[in-house]
């Protein structure tokens, strides 16, 4: 096996619209996504895989998904896969084929497991029984690999009351499965529009800034922070160790309505 690390990206919460000039709280998600992809191509141009962890579009139209798919196909130098967030439509995403929607991805002796926490009509997330069984079976079948579990909704409280009410609802069921196994190294999610890191037993729990608006941490109610969009990178090693970091674009005035009370 090569001693070269596997290079992985996480990109999340793009909230792309139908049109290139659509705005989200006065910010243009196309512009900020373009800036993030430019940064990736400068800082981490060679990658093995990219994970898109939900809220890919702001309103789940076929046009918005086609635009987003085309952007990533043209701008990334590696394969990518996505999973749905609360703003997404799993059925519309499924129309883009098996490769981008595949739930298991093997990279050397690492395995990425993609989970669907989307619930129609709700902002919060839930793992249906079939998804929990898929997770457990995937862990059982791949004890020889180091595991990264990816989902959209956060499975632990992050300290902001308003978005902790919009978390994964059946976290006990999730951890009951995951804590049976010691070979999971990383649990990775989107949704919270901010950088987050903590340890849970022998696992690293990670979240990543959105490619557009940023939520202020540790707030009781919705609040935006004037931090720049970003992405997360990983280098995965054959012994199960890894390094990771978050990169943000240089300061730019995107015109974001920082006084907004929600969207």
Name the E strands within 155-255.
184-189, 196-200, 203-207, 230-236, 242-248
Residue 133 falls inside a structural domain:
yes
CATH number of the domain that residue 158 is part of: 3.60.21.10
Indicate whether 225 pLDDT > 80.
yes
Indicate whether 1 pLDDT > 70.
no
Indicate whether 252 pLDDT > 80.
yes
The fraction of the chain above a pLDDT of 90, given in percent, is 97
Query: What's the mean per-residue pLDDT of the chain?
Result: 97
Residue 30 falls inside a structural domain:
yes
pLDDT digits (tens, 9 = 90+) for 73-96: 999 999 999 999 999 999 999 999
Domain count, the chain: 1
Residue 29 falls inside a structural domain:
yes
Q: Is the dihedral of CA 83, 136, 125, 235 positive or negative?
A: negative
Residue 198 falls inside a structural domain:
yes
- Residue 3: the pLDDT is 83
Residue 254 falls inside a structural domain:
no
Residue 219 falls inside a structural domain:
yes
Residue 262 falls inside a structural domain:
no
Whole-model pTM over 0.85: yes
pLDDT digits (tens, 9 = 90+) for 28-76: 999 999 999 999 999 999 999 999 999 999 999 999 999 999 999 999 9
Residue 256 falls inside a structural domain:
no
Over residues 150-158, the mean pLDDT reads 99
What distance lies between CA 258 and its chain's CA centroid?
23
**What domain range includes position 91?**
6-240
- Residue 2: the pLDDT is 59
pLDDT digits (tens, 9 = 90+) for 87-129: 999 999 999 999 999 999 999 999 999 999 999 999 999 999 9
């Amino acid at each position: 096996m090569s001693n070269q690390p596997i290079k992985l990206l996480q990109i999340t919460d793009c909230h792309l619209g139908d049109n290139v000039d659509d705005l989200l709280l006065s910010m243009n998600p196309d512009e900020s996504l373009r800036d993030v992809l430019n940064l990736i191509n400068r800082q981490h141009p060679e990658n093995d895989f990219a994970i898109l962890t939900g809220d890919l579009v702001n309103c789940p139209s076929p046009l918005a998904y086609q635009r987003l798919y085309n952007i990533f196909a043209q701008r990334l130098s590696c394969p990518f896969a996505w999973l749905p967030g609360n703003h997404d439509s799993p059925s519309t995403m499924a129309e883009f084929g098996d490769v981008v929607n595949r739930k298991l991805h093997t990279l050397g002796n690492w395995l990425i497991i993609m989970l669907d926490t989307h619930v129609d009509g709700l902002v919060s997330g839930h793992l249906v029984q079939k998804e929990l069984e898929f997770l457990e079976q995937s862990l059982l079948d791949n004890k020889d690999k180091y595991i990264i579990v990816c989902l959209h909704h956060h499975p632990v409280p992050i300290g902001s009351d308003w978005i902790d009410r919009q978390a994964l609802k059946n976290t006990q069921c999730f951890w009951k499965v995951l804590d049976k196994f010691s070979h999971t190294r990383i649990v990775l999610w989107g949704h919270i529009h901010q950088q987050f890191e903590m340890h849970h037993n022998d696992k690293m729990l990670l979240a990543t800034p959105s490619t557009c608006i940023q939520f202020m941490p540790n707030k009781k109610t919705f609040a935006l922070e004037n931090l720049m969009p970003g992405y997360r990178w990983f280098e995965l090693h054959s012994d199960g160790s890894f390094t990771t970091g978050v990169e943000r674009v240089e300061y730019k005035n995107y015109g974001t309505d920082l006084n907004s009370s929600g969207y």
